[in-house]
A and B are shown apart, each in its own frame.
Chain A
């Protein structure tokens, strides 16, 4: 079976949109953070796919190999993964604080409480 050359990109778009839809349509704040993570990892897959060369190997020199995949996307994504975890941690801390203040982590209920006060 021949896989189309753009299949990876199409699947990345599907994953990306699944994450975006989770962020838009789900009112639970933890679910929104997970949706952001899903979106984020799909972007990582997009970059790593671009760096792949058919027949290439991991960019570690030596061993008599001639063709290496592109190391630059790998470096960018290494940085992005760690930054992504830092933002996830901050988002979860904010959610815990919101729960302390409002007693709920559902967006709809928080908005209702805000409207009820004004």
Chain B
């Protein structure tokens, strides 16, 4: 049953990804990207990553879509056809995809408890975090305590991105803001 849901969700995600590639209306693309993200969140629940599913649904499907729609109110929302790199891009992606699929043949099978990824620090986190940190949720313990510096780095990145957005768009009052140059007018 789990496998069935897993396969169905992955196939739906593939369809949305191809529809994103195909459609030219950028509002439709933004909504499809949101639903793609929401399907990924559902998949994380199936794969036992409930905390990641929360974050993906709230931040990935929610805030990302809002940002995208907000940006689309300021830019044109029809994509113009462009076939510049269509063939070379196809060759590169198909070649790279074939190489990656060849590489997956060495990966441990889905759900294998003896896979190398499970043999390192993960068992220590599961066994000792209740005594050392005192929280039932191991993911929270690792996020806030064992790998706290990662989280500090993450907040640094968000802060930097916020400063970057403000530096690029400004607080307001910049001359010529939100107005594309008219025909014949020189660019600033």
Within 8 Å by CB of A52, from B48, B122, B153, B165, lies B48
Q: Which residues of A contact B79 (CB under 8 A)?
A: 26-28, 30-31, 106
Q: Which residues of A contact B129 (CB under 8 A)?
A: 61
Structural contact, A71 and B10, CB atoms closer than 8 A: no
A56–B117 CA distance with the chains assembled, in angstroms: 15
Q: Which residues of B contact A102 (CB under 8 A)?
A: 180-181, 187
Structural contact, B48 and A59, CB atoms closer than 8 A: yes
Q: How far is the CB of B76 from chain A (nearest CB, A)?
A: 7
Whether, in the assembled complex, B172 has its beta carbon less than 8 Å from a beta carbon of chain A, the answer is no
Q: How far is the CB of B99 from chain A (nearest CB, A)?
A: 9
Interface string of B70-83 (1 = CB under 8 A from A): 11101110011011
Structural contact, A90 and B161, CB atoms closer than 8 A: yes
Q: How far is the CB of A13 from chain B (nearest CB, A)?
A: 5
Within 8 Å by CB of B64, from A50, A85, A105, lies A85
Which of A28, A70, A89 has the most B CB atoms < 10 Å from its CB? A70
Query: Between A and B, how many residue pairs show CB distances below 8 Å?
Result: 307
23 contacts between A and B (CB under 8 A): A3-B3, A3-B7, A6-B107, A15-B13, A15-B14, A17-B96, A22-B21, A28-B79, A30-B30, A34-B33, A45-B43, A52-B47, A54-B111, A60-B50, A69-B48, A78-B139, A79-B150, A79-B154, A82-B59, A88-B67, A89-B161, A95-B71, A108-B84
A83–B67 CA distance with the chains assembled, in angstroms: 14
Within 8 A of A (CB), among B114-172: 115, 117-118, 120-122, 125-126, 129-130, 136-139, 142-143, 147, 150-151, 153-154, 157-158, 160-162, 164-165, 168-169
**A interface residue count range (under 10 / 10 to 19 / 20 to 34 / 35 or more):** 35 or more
**With A6-B110, A24-B92, A27-B80 in contact, is A71–B142 under 8 Å at CB?**
yes
Within 8 Å by CB of A72, from B10, B29, B110, B122, lies B122
Interface string of A80-108 (1 = CB under 8 A from B): 01111111111011111101111111111
Within 8 Å by CB of B67, from A3, A58, A92, lies A92
Structural contact, B37 and A41, CB atoms closer than 8 A: yes
Within 8 Å by CB of A8, from B37, B72, B110, lies B110
Whether, in the assembled complex, B173 has its beta carbon less than 8 Å from a beta carbon of chain A, the answer is no
Within 8 Å by CB of A9, from B107, B117, B160, B180, lies B107
Q: How far is the CB of A11 from chain B (nearest CB, A)?
A: 4
